[in-house]
Amino acid sequence: MSNFNLRQDIEQRFLRYVQIDTTSNEFSTAVPSTAIQYDLLNLLAAELEDMGAAEVTITDYACVYATIPATVNHDVPVLSFWAHVDTSPAFSGKDVKPQVHRHYDGRPITLPGNPTLTLDPTEFPYLQQKIGEDLVTSDGTTLLGADDKAGVAICMSFGKYLLDHPEIPHGKIRLCFTPDEEIGRGVSNVKLEDVGADIGYTLDGGRLGAIVYETFSADKAVVRIEGVAAHPGYAKGVMVNALHLAGKFVEKLPQDHRTPETTSGTEGFIHVYEMRGTATAVDLYLILRDFERDGLAAHGDLVRDIAAEIQALEPRAKVTVEISAQYRNMRYWLENDMQPVELARQAAKRLGIDVFSSPTRGGTDGSRLTEMGLPTPNLFTGMQNFHGPTEWVSLHDMEKAAELCLNMAQLAAK
């Protein structure tokens, strides 16, 4: 019998992984979008080889796959567990300095690299449920990267545990690590025949007990405004300033509804998140989110209508809109076959975990994988406040997520 310590292994891996910069870049056309993601992908492949995993592969589309061989002889559904290595470009993920807070005492946590930032349980109520647990934060100068290196560490430790405990009955398990999830391209190039699984699970969720089978549907919109260039000293009646028109476009977007800061629950939104350009030409980048197809289409129609208004306002300009699909609500497919969700719920019940399945105001690789034909609900990791400097995670929650995966593997073998 192995003396492998699951909790300790998760912590050690997580603290190492978050210190590797893997920020993705949506303006890059490379695969992965940033070469630095290979620093972690290559490390994971090497560690999988060292732990004795089979069929370890780095694909030409920058995914790492590995197999935990079955320990039973009868037919068992092949389960796959997924996590993404990249971190969000919304905040710096370089030179992360993880801080472990042992036996959290319930008081506010001041982040040492930026003392103006405090994790206060009155502001973040989930902290009140974590008293006595070990928490990890950054030092406040970067994000932490628990999204989704918590998932990466959980998958790796879960796989190592199974390899060290061949007496545990389970079918074939596939571990899968993707790049570029944060920019909506995590599984764009995935070939399901390379995966060879019947069911998938992403480890990319929040608080303990969350088993998600409903996500946003998502589109990306790029509005390009081309003005008319002229020397500013002789521009009267000639120049058309694209920046001015871009400002008018943004002003016409809903301000008191349909924005991230004014919506919650199952309300969708339009979010303009970047503007690039000059007086001659400007690109506006927007994300459109809704839980229903009709709502998502309405967001796109509104963007087109406003663009048409700007075009009519200044016929000499050229205003174009390009809307591209990113992912769709996994509920559309999973509600027709809830077996993957029920397997996770049964495993959680065995562990005494209170399960909840509320719609998540985001998406995961599981949204696209489900649409592609691999049903893939999303499981909790414990991460909180992701994409910013107050991000944190409970090591207790991460251990519970790994135990959930272990129980799911055993239940599937029955």
Query: Which letter does DSSP use for residue 233 in this model?
Result: G
**Residue 181 known to be catalytic:** yes
Q: Which amino acid is at 222?
A: V
Give yes or no for a contact between 220 and 323, defined as CB atoms under 8 angstroms apart. yes
Of 208, 199, 212, 216, whose CA–CA distance to 82 is shortest?
199
Contacts of 19 (CB under 8 A, 6+ apart): 95, 96, 97, 98
Question: Of the listed 86, 180, 214, 226, which one is catalytic?
Answer: 86
**CB 54: neighbour CB atoms within 10 A?**
12
Give yes or no for a contact between 376 and 330, defined as CB atoms under 8 angstroms apart. yes
CA–chain centroid gap for 37, Å, is 15
For 276-341, the DSSP string reads EE-SSEEEEEEEEEESSHHHHHHHHHHHHHHHHHHHHH-TTSEEEEEEEEEE--THHHHTT--HHH
Question: Of the listed 47, 147, 180, 181, which one is catalytic?
Answer: 181
Q: How many residues does the chain have?
A: 414
DSSP H stretches of helix in 182-288? 192-195, 242-252
Q: Kindly tell me the number of DSSP H helices and DSSP E strands found in the chain.
A: 10, 16
Of 177, 151, 145, 181, whose CA–CA distance to 381 is shortest?
151
Structure tokens at 156: 């790796």
Strands 211-212 and 378-380: antiparallel
Strands 199-205 and 79-84: parallel
Structure tokens at 172: 């074939």
**Residue 256 known to be catalytic:** no
Name the residues annotated as catalytic. Answer: 86, 181
